[in-house]
Every structure is written in C-alpha cells, then in structure tokens.
Structure 1
Amino acid sequence: MDDQHLEPGKYLHTLAYRCTPALVGDATVFVRRLDVESAKLWSNFTAQCRKRFGKVEAQAPYTIATTVLQVITGGYVYFEPNGAAPFLVSRQSIDSNLLCKAFALTHGLVLGEQVEMIDLRQPPELAQRIARTPERELVLSEQLRAVKGAQPDAPNWLYRSVGWGLAERLAALPFRLSNGREIQFRPDTTGGLVALEDPWENESGGRYAVCRTAVNLKTLPNVHHPVLLLDARVSRISSSLIFSSTALAIQPGNGRPVLEVKLNGRGGAKAIPRQALQALGRLEMDYSILQSIAERSQREQQLRERARALKEKLQFPREHPGQIWPIPAKSYQHPIGTGVGMHHLRILHSHVDAVFGDDTQALIFRQSTAMSLPRRPTDPENISSQELKRRKEERERTGSGGPLRRRGTLFPSAESLCASVDQAGFKKLRIACLWYRDETRQRMLQTFCRAFGLDPAGLDTEEAVELDLYQGRITVVFHYLPDFLRPSRRRDRAEALGAAGASLRSRDGALVSAWCETEVPDSDDFPDLDTRDLAELDAKPQTKAVLARLDIPSQYLKGRGKEGVIQPRDEDHPAEMALLDLYRSLGVADERISNALRAKGDFPVDQIAHVGVHVRQQNRRFGEKGEPKVVITATALVPPQASQGPWSLLGWSSTNPVWRPYRSAQNAFHTHPYPEPSAEKTSYRQKWDGAADMVERALGDLADELDGVQYTVTVDAQSARRMWDGLQNMRLGEPSTRAGAAGNRSRYQLPGARLGADAPIAVVRLNTEDEEVPQPVSVTQVVKKDGVDPKEKDTSTLLFEVETDFGTPAWLLCNVPRAYDGSGAGRLGGKRTRWEAEKSVQSEVRSERRRGEMPHNFYAMTATEILPIGGPSDEVREALAAMTARLCHQTLFWSDRARYPVPLHAARQMDLDHPQYRRDVADTEPGSGDGDEGGETLE
C-alpha cells in the first residue's frame, strides 16, 4: 500500500493481496480434466464403497491414489473427483501408465482384493479413463485475466495449486526477526509453509510446536482478481502418532516439500493408510518415509498394549520428532500456547513485500465514516482532557492509586430489566438459584450484590426464602439440590427437584428463571467408567431438559474445574457472564440494545426488525447411525411501538416452527431432541433446499407478526451458502429464479426473496472464517494527501470499507481480543515472536520473578466480514453494515465484542445451549505427560 497516493484517512493493512498474472509469473501446473463418463464411473465406484462399508455418506477413499502419487512425484498432487468439473492437478507431469496403475490398485484394494491378486494388465475402466484423460501443461497467469465488472471465474484447480509455487518463493528467503535471527521455512504439500528447522519448545523440554503459514486463494465480493490470503498459526506437535490426525513428514531427497499425511484409524490406533503402503510396494517405489510412519505407529501401539497389560500409566518418550511430526487429532492441553501474535504477522507482511516486491497489490481498506461506536455501560467514562489532567495532578499530589477513568457497570440497570419484564407481560422477575456447593452459592450471591449495588456485609439467604433485589420486582431464591445437579447415573432428575418446584412455578405474575451450578464429569470420580461414556453422567443436559419442559429458562455456572472447587480471588467473570446470559435466555433486550441501534444517519435502523438465522449440520457421533441432522434456529429483534420502550426478542426453531417470545421458543426447542432427517431418501440438494424452504415459511410468518414493520436477515456465510445461491460471491447480484439452475444450485437465491412485498429489505452476510477473511496487521493514518509523516498504529477496533472494482463493497470489522488488550494482559505477541519469547525467572526477590511466555496464548486482531446484499441504495447498505458492527460491539452476554451481532448470536446460542449439544473440554493428551496425572491410565 503506497501511502503517498492515498487520500487522508485511516487505512487497514492486511495479509490480503490481489493474485495477478504478474504475481504468479510463468508458473505452470499439469491438469487433467475428467469428462462426464469418467465422473459417472467414479460415482459408481463411490456407490460400491457405500454398499461395502454400509455408510450412506461414505466417499471413495481417493487419498490412497493421491498419497501414492505424492510420494512418487515429490508431493504436489491434488485430485477432486466430485463437483461440476472434476480434475487432477500436479506440479510435475505424471506418466499415464503409472497413473493407471495407481488408480487400478486403489480400486482393487478398496473393494477388498489382495494387492498381489490385482491384475495391472487389465485395469478397471475407471483407471483407464482417468489415465487416458489428456494432460495439459497450463500457465497460471493465463487463468487470472480480470473481466471488467465481474467476479473472477478462475477454474477450481487454480485455487488448489496456485500456492505451490508462491510458497516455494516465500520459503526461498529467510524469515528475518527483529533481532536479526533468520528462520528457515519449508514449503509443504498443502501449498503452505512450515518451520520444522526452528520449532518452539517448552522450557522443561520434550514438547514441541511449529509455525505453519497458510497460503490460500479465495474470492472477495466485487473484486476482479482472486485474492491471496496469508495467515500464520501454531501447530502443536503430539508426543504420539497413534493419537494424531495427520503427520508432517520430511521426504528424502533435496527440494521436496514437507509431506502432510492423513492418518487412518480410531483412538490410539492411528497409522498410515495400509493400502497406500501396499500400492507403493506393488509398484516397487521408494516409500521409506511412509514405512517409517508405519513402524512408529506399530512401536507406539505395542507400548500402549504393554502399559495396558501392566496397568501402568502410558508415557511416550519425550524426544525431538526428527523426520515425523504428528499433529493431534483434537485440541488437547499443551505446554505451548496458541497464536503467533501481532508482531509475527507484521514481520510476515514485510516478508511478503520483500519476496514479491512490486508484483504485490495489497487490497485497500479505508475506515468507514458511517460507523460510530455506541458507548457501552462498561466503557471508561467520557471525560474532557482538562478533567483528565486535573485527576492526574490530584493523584500525584495525594498518592491515590485510583483509576483516572472509572469504568461503568457490566450489568443492565434494574429499571431496564423491569421494563423488559413488563413488556413481556409479567409483574416481577424471580431467579431460582440451584446449588450444591456453598462456594458456588456465595459466588452467585456476590454477583447479585455487584449487579444491583447491594452491600454484601451481613447479607445471606435462607433456604427457599425470597430475597428482594430491587423494590420487590426482582427477587432471588436459593435451593440446595445436590441430587438434581451433581453428575451421576440417576434418571429421576425431575423428582429430585422436590420442594424447589414451588419456586419454579410462575405465580403472582412472576417471570421465573433458574441459575444452576454444574461441573463437567471427571474420569477420576468414575474410575470404572469408559471416558467415552462420561457424557452420560453430565447433569447439565439432563437438568436443562427438565427445566425446559417446565418452561423455565436456565443458565449454568461451573463450580469445579480441573484444579478443584472454583473460588475466584478478584472479579468473578464467569459468574457475571452467566448472569448476563441468563438475561439473554429470558429474552431481555435492555437499554444497551436501544443505545446501539439508535439511528446515526438518515436511514432509521432503529425502526426496523433485525432477524438472525443460524444453520448447523449435526454430524453423527461415534456409534450413531443415519443421515446428519439439520438444525435451524432464528431470532427477531423487534423495535418498540413506543419511542422509549424496550426492544423485544422473538425466537423460532425447526423443531417448533412458531414465532414466540425468545424464552418460550428456546424452551420449546430444548424440550425436543434435534430434528431427525426426513425418512424419505433425499439428495444433498433436496436436503438443503428443504431447509431453505423452511426458513422461507418462517420469514413469511414473521412478516405477518410484524404487521408492516420492515426487517433485515443476517446469516453466516459458511453455513448458509449451501442453502442460498445468492450468498456466493460468484452469484452476487443475480436475479432470483424459482426453479433454480441446472446442476447442484439451490432453488433459492436469498432468504425471503420470494415473499414479494414481505421480503426483507436486505440480507446481511457475515463471514468470520479465518481462511476466507483477510488477516488484519496494522493501521496507517494518512494526515496529508502527499502521505508525509503517516501515523502507524498496531491495532484497531474500527470498521473498514474494502475498495472494490465494482458493485457493493464489503466491510471488515476489526476486533482486538480482550485477552490481548485487557487490563494486565501484557499484550503477548505484540512486540516479540514466539522465537523471542521470554523465559521464566525464579527469584527470592518478588519483583524479579517472571512467568515464561511460551505456555501462554499470543493474540492477534481478528476480523468479521460484513456484506449487505440488496437494500435500496449504497447509503442504506453502509448504514446496515455499521448497524451490524454496532450489534457486534454491544452484546447481550458479556462486556466486550462478539464475532456475531445480537440477533445471530442469540439464534446460535439457542443451539449451543441445547441438551443434545455436548460440552467439550480440553483434556490431557494421552501419554503426553502433560497435566497433573502425567498420562493415560490403561486397564
């Protein structure tokens, strides 16, 4: 970005660059485009696999062939047999005879043939047709010609292969740190980079993590060229291969990329795909690297079996990974934190400029003038510079240690809560606190004191006696219910409520809610139980279902963690957030929402309703059968009829498709299991068209409820684009068609587009996916038009408009994690990379002690992409983008920002709070030696 040619304003630097012909240079790849008959044969092969394995959604395991071809050709191979344009792309030319044998072996091995019995002289027709498909050497730059006024129309194989050459060029120049140290990266077969020569290690030694840099090619709305997105992350290295999902392997020979290998098997039995070894052996190719992975897997499984036989704790050796670097299957506890930090990303930004020079064209993001952040109750008070100076002088004179800027309260006012309760048709709010540890009861009580300004001195509660929190209109009652709340095998949770049932009944016009203690079942408490069955003992989903059937909104507070009973020393943030989330479950939209939605321009965003639609596919868990389930929830934030009245929150779900007050809609949703898929056999397209049709009917019903009030619809791009074609960048601006298009396109263009006069005035598409949203790096403020003396800033929380080539722009809302910018956060990663992390210092002098930085998370800015689609004008779309940003800035459930605005967050939370949505906890990796227990106990 050349500051000298920019108009005055604030500009965001990101790791996003136009992928132009000049950037890729003369790079080429070899492509085979499969014809219709070959694609049909592959589809038949997939059907044979599904029949053999008894899995409805099984795919033919083509990774056998690609692994074989990667080892033979050096690594760069990608095969996409499905979709509208199936292809095989590679960096090197692949001999057709070899290709035929690789797919013949894949076909035979998958269908159960012995490898030595497969006749390579008579390969199946599928292998023959793939091998006969013409291979063409194509120049990448020729596929990147921009078409004026149109989205890029590059072929899919380009998106999969363009990173190969770019990563090699980025790896050719050392990554230079601020202290002069040079880090050497290697390209990997995914098209990214990995720093295996310079891993990060914990202070006690033996545990490792590596830096991986992703190089992805994506599209952004209304930008001519595909966009190159870079990002860096920490990949923790597992102590074991058999509990890992993938492995990075250093191939023999010079100039070969690091091979990423997918591992097969369950639990502690992961290994290299056996068929790939058999195929390479039959072809008499060098597969020593894969054989090394297989041998390590065998050694570790033998070690595990020995520990099981002797009933000892499993402990894998702590040693440098060497040639094989396993990556864990899930996020276990690890002595090295996550995230590379802001400073690392800024160096990466400079590294890209150094490698590609003038060939880089960074995207331009300029601050949006439409957004002004609402003042939140928790923000520091807004005082003049004169008053700030006076307070500073007074503090220096008196020695007072008080803050210069006092922060407001986290909680909505009691008056605002009462107004929302009145609007819902009730006279008072009663919160039933259900507990079984006195420490948790005290935490709840202290939180109420902070929320309502009560003096905790001498304040206590009697069992089952209401305590007045505010003028008799907000009360709390405590009930000791260990049998109801503790983890156990009991099934009579409803009966265990006992006398507390009276407090949970709505009487005298009371709106009732429940705040409950909970804990995640621990394997130490149930030593005879398989860890996979611990979820069955979890009281939270069971009790939540009981309370939902009583139409009682509920929220939970964890009373015990890994370290024992939780007793916060300072501010009890978990308890405060739990109480705020309880208000959200009640559907309370207090004055914070009114403030955030107050109109800032000519378009009255405070006079229209705002709908959020959440969609998720519930995949089968281990042991489950049948098709994946589709879960849909929605909310509507509805403006008040009176100008000073409270907003109301409505809810809807696919299991109870009726609009009703949010608390009732959530309870109705939680009363039923997740919706079962249709008994009729449906295709992928039919399933998602059916989901879109359900939302269409819901929006039509809502339009009747709103009685002429206009509304917007907000959706998440990742989950919703399979339902509505118009959300995809390639389809932006296309007219809606009732019958849909040929192929796999949806019958629906946009949510509510067929409702005519009842359609939404605009659809707001959000994207928070790291692989698709530009990574912010820093901000430059240009004061003068000639760019002299620009001001640099490390972070920003502003809204930036993307400079597009045509059409409606998208906006990026920059977010600074609270853990990075909060009080006492230390801003880890702000000035140093992990290679420069400070070590811990032990000292008898307290001021000299220091905690090591490597175990902690290094934070960086994140971004939310906001794209309003439709709307009567550019001004309206910009106003809607700013409104969405304000509803991310001001949340219902905590003091800081969220990635999703209030309506979409509330809809999403209905799903995440469902009794069937299982809680996940970062557990200790088996055999790693991390944590107190030092490994997995095997019996």
Structure 2
Amino acid sequence: MTQHGREPGVYLNTLAFRCTPTLVGDDSVYVRHLDPETLKLWSDFDRQCKQRYGDEAAQAPYSIATTVLSVLSNGYVYFDPDYKGPFLASLEPLADDLIRRVFTLTYWLALGERIDAIDLKAPPELAKRIAGTTEHRYSLAEFLTPQINTQPTAPNWVFRTVAWGLSQRMAGPWAISGSKKIRLRPDTTGGLVAIDDPWENEQRGRFAVSRTALRLKTLPNITSPILMVTSRVTRISSSLVFSRTALAVQPGEDRPVLEVPLNGRGGARTVNRLALEALGRLEMDYSILSAIAKRSQAEQKLLAEAKEQRRKALFAREHPGQVWPILGKNYTFPIGTGTGMQHLRELHKHFRDVFGGTAEPLVIRETDMTLPHRPTDPERVTAKELERRKQERANSDSKEPLRARGSAFPQPESIVAAVEAAGFTKLRIACLWYRDETRLRMLDTLCKTYGLDTAGLDPHDGQEFSLHGTQITAVFHLASDFLKPGGPDGRQQALNETGASLVSRDGVLVGAWCETEIPTADDAPDGAKGDLEGLDAKHQTRTILAALGAPTQYILGRNAHGVIHPKAKDHPAEMALLDLYRSLGIIDDRIANALQPQTTHSAYAVSRIAHVGFHVRQQNKRKGEGGSPKVVITASALVPPLRPGGTWTMLGWSSTKPQWQPYRLAQTDFHTTAYPQENGTRKTHRQRWDDAAETIELALSDLAEELDGVPYVVTIDGLAGRRMWDGLHNVRQGASPQDRTSRYWLPGSSLNPAERPDAVIRINVEDDEVPPPVSTTRFLKSRADAVREGETTRTLYQVVQDFSTPVWILCNVPRAYDGDGAGRLGSKYTRWDAKRSIQSDKKDERRKGEMPQNWYSMTATEIYPIACNPGVSGEALAFATAQLCHQTLFWSDRSRFPVPLHAAKQMDLNHPQYRRTAPPEEQQTTEPGTDEPDTVPEE
C-alpha cells in the first residue's frame, strides 16, 4: 500500500461522504413523535379534507402549519404524518402553546371555517394531542453509529433533518478561482444557495442562482448513511404567478433563505392564503409572505389587463430583491443549465476544507473491465502509425482527426442476418415525407449509411431502390395530408392515397420513417384555440401505422426556427434511422461484440443468458381526469442465439397485451391500445403496486416457458421498482423475505426454482442518489507517495463495501462535453467567470457567449446485481450491464440504461398517449440531456 493508505490504482472522487457521528458533531434537533391515537385523529382529518374538496388524491393541507412555524422559528421545520413513523421536527424548540394554536388554525381553516370565527381557546382534539406530545432533544450522532455487517437503520427524521446543521457549517464565504469568494447562504431545505451572487444574462434582467443540496441516502452494504452533495443551476422567473416555489430572503443576517411553496393554478399562484390568515391571527410578523402575496396580486392584475387588451403580458425584468420565483424546468431561458465540472471540484474542495478529517469519502476503485470497441470509437492504430500521422499533419493544413471515428451503423450483412432471424428475406424502409428538404435528408442519410453514390440518385415516389442488393431497399412516398399537423379526420384515407405498402408480409419486413413537426398556433384552425397536442400528427399517425403492424420512427422537419437544414453531419437523421432499426427489433452484431467473454475469472457466461428489462411508470391524472393513476409496464428481452456466433433476437411485452412476441409486434400492439384503465375498485398505494408486481410475476412465468431453459436476468430501474419489491431496498439487503411488506420480495421470487431469474440487476441513475463523480486520483506503484489527478473518466468503478456484495458505478462523460468540437464549458472555471460573447466582422474574433449555454458534468449509473441462484457472478453481470450501456442500439454513444431496459422504456416514451405537453404559461424548449437524448430522433 502507498503512504496514503490506498493500493495502487485509480480511485473515483465523488461528492458522497459517510455521514458519521464525527461528521455531525454536536448537531441536534427537536422531535415530537405522533402516537397511534394522534395518527388516527390525523387520518380522520385527512378524510374530512378529501370529502370537502371532493378529491381522493387531496391531502390535509399541513403546509399551513409548516409555513407558519417556519416563519416563526427561524425556518427549519418538517412535519411528516406518514403512518410509518409520523413526527414533527424542528431545529429550535417549539412551545406547546404555539403548536396548539397553529394546528387549531390549520384544522379549522382547512375545513372552511372563517379565520375570525375560530376560537383559539377551544382547540380540536387533534391540535391538543400534537401539542401535548413530548418534545425530545436528540443528538444526531447517537443515531449514526455504524453497526458491523449491517445496513444503517436511522429513523426517518434523521434523514430529513441531518442536513440542517451541516449546511449551516458550509455557509459563508466560498473561495473559488483564486481570490474570488462567493457567499453561500443556508436555505430551509437543508441546502445552500448563492443568492447574493446570482448569474445574469448578457442582456441583463434575467437571473439564475447556484443551489446546493445535501441529502442523506444509503448504499448497499455500506454501514454508514451517505451524504450526497449535488449542485445545480436554479433559474429565476420574471413572474411569480406561474411558479410553484419561491425563495424568500428573510430579514436578519443569520436567518436561512426560506423556500416557500406557492398555491393556486398557473397564472394565479401565490403564497398560502390560509397561512397568511393564520399568521395575522397570531399577530406575528409575516412581512416576507405579505411581500409575495402583494407581488402576486400585482402580477395577476397585469395579466388581466393584458388579456383584456389582447396582448402579451410583460413582466418587469429586474433584480428580484427579496423574492426569487423559481422557473419550471426545461423552458426557454437565456441562462443555460448545468454548473460544470470545475464548480463541482471546487465544491468538493470546500466540503473537505470545512469538515477536514471528519469528511470520510467512499473508497471507489476502478475495475479491470475492458469496454468493447464500438464502430463509433476512433480507429485503433499503433503508436508508430499514430506518430507517422502526426508528422504528416504537421507538414500539411489538414484538420482531419488523427484517429477517425467509424460509422454509427452496423454492417448491412449484420442487418440482413437479423432480418432473416426474424423470419423475413428482405427489409424495406418506407420513407413518408412532405418537405423536399426532409426527403433529401432521408436520402442522404440512407446513401451514407449504405455507401451509395448520391450523384444522379433521385428516385421517384413509389420507386423502390436498392440499399444493399435485393435484401435491403427503400421507397419514398409524398404523404402531406397524412403527416402534416392538424386534426385526425381524413388521415387514414390520406395514407391510402399514397399507395404505400406498409404491411410486413410475403417475406418483406417493413418499417416506416416519417417526417413530423411540433405544431404551433399557426397550425390551429382559423380562430381556434386550445390543446396543440391534439394537432400533433405524430401521435395520430403512429396509431394508424401501428394498426398496420408497421414500426415507425419520426424525424423533425421543422423546429421553432424554421425548416431544418443541417450544417454538418445530420446526427438527428442518423439517430432516427438507428432507432427505426430498434423499433424493428433488429439486433445486429454490435450486441454480440459487447457481450464477448469478460476479463473476469468467472465461469458465468453472460453471452449465453437472456437479458430482460422491465420499465414501470405511473401515469398520473391530468386535470379533469377521473379514476386512479395508471401503471404502465413494458418489457424487452435480449435472447441469445442457439449456437455461438448466431444472431441475437429481441422479444417485447406490455401490460396492455401481456404476451411475449417479437419486439416489433409487441411495440405496435402496445401503440394501438390506450393506456390501462383502473377498474372501479378503489385501491390503496400498496395494492396498486402489489398488483403491478404480480403482473410482472406472471410475465416472467410466461417468459421462462418461452425461453425453454435459457437462463435469464432481470434489470429494473431501482426508483420505480422500490415501490413494488422490498428486496430492492438498501435497508433490506441481508434481511429475510418473510419480513417484507410488499407481496413479492424480488421479481420472480414466487416462481419455482427452474423458472426464476439468475439475478435481478438494480439500476439507479438519479443524480441525488448516486455518488456524484468529480475527478479521479491514480496512486502509482513506482513511488509510494506519487499520485496523478484526472478530471474525467468513463470507466466502471467498484464501491469498496463494508460487507457482502459490492455496488458498481459506471461514469459517463456527456457527448456535449467531450465530443468532437465540444467546448468543455465549465472544465476550468465556473459560471461566475463565464466569457461574454464577442461580435466581430472577422470570423476568428467572434465568440459565442457562454452564459446561455448548457454546462455539463459527469454523470453516473449505479449497477447493483442481486444474485438469486448459486454460481451467479455479480461482477460478470456488472460488467455486462456496463457494456450494454456503452453499446447502444439507438445512437452513437452511451445510454444511462442498458439495452433491454432502454428498449422497454422507449416503447412507453413513443406511445401516442405519452405526455409531452408543457404548461401553457411557458414555452418549452428542447435541451440536451446529460448523456443521451430520450427521444432525440423525434422531439
């Protein structure tokens, strides 16, 4: 070992630290635990509120109490009436009399009583019992002592309150970029906000702030809870009435910034009126909330005047001062998203400086996995050849890369093999278009993909032409009336009139590549107003084509700036074509290459098992919809060939047609049916998710029969799956299934041993739950004290566990940060030093401003295999999962999810009913994702 206490190797540095007794020190909180009798009274109160508001989803509005108590007690208050451990917590002691009066007002105001009619001397039984509950002062350190070989089991209130004291210690001056200092203020969520040093756009008047969150989480088989530190750009709206939340600067130097939820509908949101009434009745200072209410009133008046005059409302664009309304996500804004890597590294250093030796990082070491060489990777050349090319380049004006990237597309022979494995002899790509510019983009992409000479190639509509012999062809059809935005009437007839043959039959597999655009107000009928989503031809035409059994993919022909004319490589068109192959269920040899035998010493052959992914999502109700939320389930299965060297195939499944069939058929069947409807029986949260787990249990039983003895593993998104299976929870690792509260312990756990999956692989990509990577450190063998620092990494790391099996972290560097031509914004400095734009007649002097652009950081995918059968290698499965993230089907770089889970998810994302609507008060814009575009070819 080196003198640093680490074995030689590469280690990942993250903004994740063990939350130990020494880290929290003397921090303490005040907690009142609600007993069963009090909880019963709260449940009765909650039921009365549901009846009054006529909504089963309504909750008793305890935000009245928490808002009032936050204003009166320096901000740190948390109330959780959850039946698993209800509590009221605060950083400072709360007087019994204050509690009694606040909950008396909350009770009667929620039930519709007038504020002046409430008798504070005659509190309801619920208020008396909450106030009479003993207030305990707890030292946080007592609940954070790790137990040997045991997951941490700290109570819920510890997870909710531990960040309060830690954020206060991190507050104050933050030294970045040498002498520059940024003031960090604590906020009432237990985070930090740089509200005194906001970012401003170049044209002035629009603002954003840096917000840092501290959240307590757990990791599998680590004995201490983990403190995750994340940072983001929070953009500030110029209007308050369309925001759901606002930050408010309280009077006084030592008071935290108050995060205030806003009530009401969009265009009329304001501070909780009942909380204002309660504070007035208590004769307490509530100037901060009054300021929010007055601003809301002024803005609502401005909106009303603008509507009356039939003009757009113009809100003042100035420094927010005391009230900072938070803008909803993914809307057009002149300040980009993302803080950049240097920001995170500076934050990491600040945390270490503040907490010193008490800041104990996780030990996360790089594995010896070798990632497969993808077609899109730069070609592999010897050192001698690379040197020769350098010399040639030095003696010429060439700007060609020293190692050229290959094509993102599989070899035609591989596509042909997949088509034949599906039972067909030919693939025909039917291109449906209505703008000549889009037609030329499609033709150009097909020619480049299949190495055709475009000179003189201009096929007539309906003329089938060869892409690869007689086995892969294409045909174009002008389909204006079918594809253009508008209502549904006449679309089927319009498709019939094109003469397009779209049914797969007589040995020909057909896929439809279609043009689309996002409808605007100009597409609405004369004088009509309303839901533009109803004019989106993509959703209408997808249903029609799915009924024909034709897998589809769409390419955007026009955006907000007009008809699209790609300046260089047409990445959206290339990805659309790749995703069409995915919709067709074509599994080319890139997957076999990705699952080659591993470098591990395990005999467990991941290339001989099926890899299954289940996607689960709750489709919540829209405004005006009735019934319970819908649970949507889709799945895909990568099935190995019967003989080594053969072709992989892919099956699909959905909860609307619960049978395993070729992926292309499963997807089209799913897209022809509406999302599932709940029956008339009201179900509890537990019942709904138990039923969903049972549906998957039946699907796995059917799959085992379909696979006929081929072993398989199941991959699940941990965030969705934890509602269904207790065995996925960190706290349950090593526990007995008999102690579960869910109906099933893990997917397939109720099946007989021969039908069960070999393992369940839990995937987590949530930024606030996976250790945020910031850099690497390499400890060298040659000298005991020698280290090398690295800024980014793309490899797989193993978290060194305290007991049992480890969890793995796959680090990702977004293409927008590290791709060809990427500026790597934020790699050397923070947004506080963002460069301004430069306008010049000379091209080499011009510069694009950096503040409006998105700044990217590394992301991470957590991979946790849970073995269900003996002989299963968790390491081999972690490697295989990483490789199936590294080699995707649908574009040229990585995905956060491995192939089977991504394919299952795309079935849902492409469903005609999947929600893509934005709130009408803000125009939504498409922004690059952190790693991959979820539906890049389409939206």
- Give the TM-score range, shorter chain: over 0.9
Distance across 2 between alignment mates of 1:655 and 1:527: 34
**2:897 aligned with 1:900:** yes
Amino acid paired to 1:97 = D
In structure 2, the CA distance between the partners of 1:229 and 1:171, relative to structure 1 (3 Å rule), is: same
Contact 1:340 1:829 in 2 (8 A): yes
Distance across 2 between alignment mates of 1:171 and 1:316: 32
In structure 2, the CA distance between the partners of 1:416 and 1:57, relative to structure 1 (3 Å rule), is: same
Distance across 2 between alignment mates of 1:883 and 1:436: 43
Q: Which residue matches 1:176?
A: 175
Q: Which residue matches 2:615?
A: 614
**Corresponding residue pairs, total:** 921
Q: Secondary structure at the match of 1:617?
A: strand
Q: Which residue matches 1:935?
A: none
Contact 1:192 1:213 in 2 (8 A): yes
**2:561 aligned with 1:563:** yes
**2:521 aligned with 1:520:** no
Q: Secondary structure at the match of 1:903?
A: helix
| Pick aligned residue for 2:582 from 561, 581, 584 | 584
Distance across 2 between alignment mates of 1:842 and 1:907: 47
Give the deviation of 1:918 after TM superposition: 2.6
Give the deviation of 1:382 after TM superposition: 0.5
Q: Which residue matches 2:206?
A: 207
Contact 2:218 2:226 in 1 (8 A): yes
Q: Secondary structure at the match of 2:463?
A: coil
Contact 2:262 2:270 in 1 (8 A): yes
Q: Which residue matches 1:254?
A: 253
Q: Secondary structure at the match of 2:634?
A: strand
Spell out the pairing of 1:757-772 with structure 2 (5 A cutoff): 757-772=754-769
Contact 1:612 1:715 in 2 (8 A): yes
**2:824 aligned with 1:823:** no
Give the deviation of 1:51 after TM superposition: 1.1
**2:60 aligned with 1:60:** yes
Distance across 2 between alignment mates of 1:104 and 1:897: 55
Give the deviation of 1:56 after TM superposition: 1.5
Q: Which residue matches 2:406?
A: 408
Spell out the pairing of 1:491-640 with structure 2 (5 A cutoff): 491-526=489-524, 533-600=531-598, 601=600, 602-640=603-641
**2:13 aligned with 1:7:** no
Q: Which residue matches 1:474?
A: 472
Deviations 1:352-374, CA, capped at 9 Å, x for gaps:
111001111000100112x2101
Contact 1:69 1:75 in 2 (8 A): yes
Give the deviation of 1:505 after TM superposition: 2.7
Q: Which residue matches 1:423?
A: 421
Deviations 1:436-480, CA, capped at 9 Å, x for gaps:
111111110011011101111111111111111111111111111
Q: Which residue matches 2:362?
A: 363
| Pick aligned residue for 1:451 from 449, 452, 470 | 449
Amino acid paired to 1:260 = E
Q: Secondary structure at the match of 2:873?
A: helix
Q: Secondary structure at the match of 2:263?
A: coil
Q: Which residue matches 1:705?
A: 706
Contact 2:332 2:923 in 1 (8 A): no
Q: Which residue matches 1:270?
A: 269
Tell which deviates more after alignment, 870-879 or 466-475.
870-879
Tell which deviates more after alignment, 447-456 or 780-789.
780-789
Q: What root-mean-square deviation, in Å, do the aligned CA atoms of Structure 1 and Structure 2 show?
A: 1.7
TM-score normalised according to structure 1 size: 0.96
Give the deviation of 1:36 after TM superposition: 0.7
Deviations 1:312-354, CA, capped at 9 Å, x for gaps:
2211011100000000234311000000000010000100111
Distance across 1 between alignment mates of 2:765 and 2:831: 25
Distance across 1 between alignment mates of 2:821 and 2:195: 33
Q: Secondary structure at the match of 1:503?
A: coil
**2:101 aligned with 1:132:** no
Amino acid paired to 1:21 = P
Give the deviation of 1:830 after TM superposition: 0.3
| Pick aligned residue for 1:754 from 750, 756, 759 | 750
Distance across 1 between alignment mates of 2:454 and 2:191: 56
Give the deviation of 1:500 after TM superposition: 3.5
Q: Secondary structure at the match of 1:294?
A: helix
Q: Which residue matches 2:48?
A: 48
Tell which deviates more after alignment, 821-830 or 322-331.
322-331
Contact 2:200 2:207 in 1 (8 A): yes
Spell out the pairing of 1:300-319 with structure 2 (5 A cutoff): 300-319=299-318
Contact 1:7 1:785 in 2 (8 A): no
Identity %: 58
Q: Secondary structure at the match of 1:212?
A: strand
Give the deviation of 1:786 after TM superposition: 5.9
Q: Which runs of 5+ in 2 are unaligned?
A: 926-939
Spell out the pairing of 1:653-692 with structure 2 (5 A cutoff): 653-692=654-693
Give the deviation of 1:872 after TM superposition: 5.2
**2:219 aligned with 1:220:** yes
Q: Which residue matches 1:352?
A: 351
Distance across 2 between alignment mates of 1:258 and 1:530: 44
| Pick aligned residue for 1:485 from 468, 483, 486 | 483
Tell which deviates more after alignment, 515-524 or 86-95.
515-524
Q: Which residue matches 2:191?
A: 192
Give the deviation of 1:845 after TM superposition: 2.5
Give the deviation of 1:814 after TM superposition: 0.2
Give the deviation of 1:920 after TM superposition: 4.6
Contact 2:2 2:8 in 1 (8 A): no
Distance across 1 between alignment mates of 2:919 and 2:193: 25
Q: Which residue matches 1:117?
A: 117
In structure 2, the CA distance between the partners of 1:531 and 1:225, relative to structure 1 (3 Å rule), is: farther
Q: Which runs of 5+ in 1 are unaligned?
A: 929-939
Tell which deviates more after alignment, 885-894 or 114-123.
114-123
Give the deviation of 1:924 after TM superposition: 8.1
Q: Secondary structure at the match of 1:285?
A: coil
Give the deviation of 1:508 after TM superposition: 3.1
Give the deviation of 1:921 after TM superposition: 6.3
Amino acid paired to 1:471 = G
Distance across 2 between alignment mates of 1:224 and 1:704: 40
Q: Secondary structure at the match of 1:329?
A: coil
Deviations 1:532-573, CA, capped at 9 Å, x for gaps:
511111111111010111111001001110000011011111
Q: Which residue matches 1:643?
A: 644
Spell out the pairing of 1:766-805 with structure 2 (5 A cutoff): 766-784=763-781, 787-805=784-802
In structure 2, the CA distance between the partners of 1:178 and 1:594, relative to structure 1 (3 Å rule), is: same
Distance across 1 between alignment mates of 2:97 and 2:645: 77
Q: Which residue matches 2:932?
A: none
In structure 2, the CA distance between the partners of 1:9 and 1:927, relative to structure 1 (3 Å rule), is: closer
Distance across 2 between alignment mates of 1:874 and 1:385: 41
Q: Which residue matches 2:831?
A: 834
Contact 1:243 1:926 in 2 (8 A): no
Q: Secondary structure at the match of 1:378?
A: coil
Contact 2:247 2:258 in 1 (8 A): yes
Q: Which residue matches 1:919?
A: 916
**2:440 aligned with 1:442:** yes
Distance across 2 between alignment mates of 1:399 and 1:58: 68
In structure 2, the CA distance between the partners of 1:474 and 1:655, relative to structure 1 (3 Å rule), is: same
In structure 2, the CA distance between the partners of 1:530 and 1:327, relative to structure 1 (3 Å rule), is: farther
Distance across 1 between alignment mates of 2:386 and 2:869: 45
Give the deviation of 1:15 after TM superposition: 0.3
Distance across 1 between alignment mates of 2:526 and 2:100: 52
Contact 1:56 1:626 in 2 (8 A): no
Contact 1:841 1:849 in 2 (8 A): yes
Amino acid paired to 2:679 = S
Give the deviation of 1:524 after TM superposition: 3.7
**2:840 aligned with 1:843:** yes
Give the deviation of 1:525 after TM superposition: 3.6
Give the deviation of 1:120 after TM superposition: 1.2
Deviations 1:672-719, CA, capped at 9 Å, x for gaps:
000011322221111111110110010011001111110000000100
Distance across 2 between alignment mates of 1:639 and 1:911: 24
Give the deviation of 1:2 after TM superposition: 9.3
